Amino acid sequence: MSSRSYTRYFLYTLLATTPVYVASQQTAAAQVAAAYGLTTSTSLPFPSATQSPSDTDNTIMNGWSLGKGRIQDGDANLAFVADPFPNNPAPGSSTNATGPVLQTTYNANTFGSEDSGAQFYNLWNTSDGSTFQTMIVSYEIAFDQDFDWVKGGKLPGIRGGLNSTGCSGGNASNGKDCFSTRLMWRKNGAGEVYAYIPTTNGLCSQSGVVCNSDFGISLQRGSFGFVSGQWSRVTLVVRLNNPPNVANGNVQLYFNDLKAIDQQGLQIRSASSVTANGFYFSTFFGGSDSSWATPNTVHTYYRNIVLYGGSAPSNLTGPVVNGAGRTATFGLGTPLLGLVLGGVVSLMLL
């Protein structure tokens, strides 16, 4: 490990609440994409000058191929602004340090997707009608220097399925029409992947997996740590399980090009019609009650959003799915209760 990586490893250990950071060799998004044969890529276009929120909305609506052509939530909270941290780029960044960055505002005392932050769904279509079975999104992110993490919040990731009400916001996934894999920050900036996917094959009892009351599944909380006042790079890899009844799906997360999460044995979908459709920009404080609210008006910033895609799903081995997917009831109880209910449902289905 280089001294630089070592310093970062040390920092994560200091900053993450439950550090289980796994050091590994540096891997850039393009290299990961090449390793999985993802020959197609696209970058979301940024303007050359800063823009007001309404001009920003127009730029995004006209140029970022949005689902339903619109920004779902928080259009007033988006603006292209000057880089707030020009002297603190992500490690190894080859970025355009002079261009504007996308700012998202979280107003004081807000939480939840309707009042805090912003949401939109970028649909990335192939030109030949084929589907994406493996997708990577890489972007750079920064948090205000004085960002109060409170209990946590959502951060952008990858989404599949065109159902805008399923697979986020408290509508659990059965894998038949959607999935989502976003990131979250938690207390003290601890990072995780937050997935709406089926919980088959005892997923909730696996190491580092937390199935909580707001329906998403936390993967490896604290395996990396966000740091305020500087840029970081995240690279999220989603390899869909195939066939749909085999749990061989894979989600990986690289933080500043170091692999922090490699979750295997996932059933991300239960129908082959569900594919990876694009970048899900979804960020807000929460959580669904005021204990998640931000006390101050704060911001996050984004740039260099790049997607890579390919038509080959995961080729890992995995078990055949042997239990019913989680029902909505699951999230209301404890994971243990969920397991019991899951078992009862499985028996009923047999």
Ligand X SMILES: *[C@@H]1O[C@H](CO)[C@@H](O)[C@H](O)[C@H]1NC(C)=O
Q: Does 163 bind ligand X (CB under 6 A)?
A: yes
Minimum CB distance to ligand X smaller for 53 or for 67:
67
Q: Does 65 bind ligand X (CB under 6 A)?
A: yes
Where does this chain touch ligand X (CB under 6 A) — which range of 2-10, 83-91, 163-171, 250-258?
A: 163-171
Q: Does 76 bind ligand X (CB under 6 A)?
A: no
Q: Does 61 bind ligand X (CB under 6 A)?
A: no
Q: Does 120 bind ligand X (CB under 6 A)?
A: no
Q: Shortest approach of ligand X to residue 239 CB, angstroms?
A: 9
Q: Does 99 bind ligand X (CB under 6 A)?
A: yes
Q: Shortest approach of ligand X to residue 46 CB, angstroms?
A: 4
Q: Shortest approach of ligand X to residue 13 CB, angstroms?
A: 32
Binding characters for ligand X, 265-304, by CB under 6 A (x = yes): ----------------------------------------
215 closest CA partner among 46, 114, 328, 295: 328
Q: Shortest approach of ligand X to residue 67 CB, angstroms?
A: 6
Q: Shortest approach of ligand X to residue 20 CB, angstroms?
A: 26
Minimum CB distance to ligand X smaller for 24 or for 163:
163
Binding characters for ligand X, 18-57, by CB under 6 A (x = yes): -----------------xxx--------x-x---------
Minimum CB distance to ligand X smaller for 119 or for 173:
173
Give the interface size with ligand X as a residue count (CB under 6 A). Answer: 23
How many other C-beta atoms can be found within 10 angstroms of the C-beta atom of residue 127?
Answer: 6
Minimum CB distance to ligand X smaller for 65 or for 107:
65
Where does this chain touch ligand X (CB under 6 A) — which range of 137-145, 161-169, 180-188, 237-245?
A: 161-169
Identify each DSSP E strand in the chain by its residue range: 40-43, 78-81, 101-106, 118-123, 134-143, 152-160, 179-186, 190-196, 209-211, 217-225, 231-239, 249-255, 258-266, 276-285, 298-310
SS3 of residue 255 by DSSP:
strand
DSSP-assigned letter for residue 49? S
286/284 Cα distance (integer angstroms): 6
Q: Does 249 bind ligand X (CB under 6 A)?
A: no
Using CB under 6 A, pick the residue from 315, 322, 329, 334 that binds ligand X.
Answer: 315
Buried b (16+ CB within 10 A) or exposed e, 256-293: bbbbbbbbbbbbbbbeeebbbbbbbbbbbbbbeeeebb
Amino acid identity, position 91: P
* Phi, psi (rounded to 5 degrees) for 27: -140, 115
> What strands, in cross-sheet order, belong to the sheet with 276-285?
118-123, 276-285, 152-160, 179-186, 190-196, 217-225, 209-211
Residues 6+ apart with CB under 8 A from 186: 17, 149, 151, 152, 192, 221, 222
CA angle at 324 for the pair 318 and 328, rounded to the nearest 5° = 125
Q: Does 206 bind ligand X (CB under 6 A)?
A: no
236/160 Cα distance (integer angstroms): 14
Q: Report, in this order, helix, strand and coil percent for the chain, each rounded to 5.
A: 20, 35, 45
Where does this chain touch ligand X (CB under 6 A) — which range of 15-23, 80-88, 157-165, 333-341?
A: 157-165
Instruction: List contacts with ligand X (CB under 6 A).
Output: 35-37, 46, 48, 65, 96, 98-99, 123, 125, 162-163, 165-167, 169-171, 173, 177-178, 315
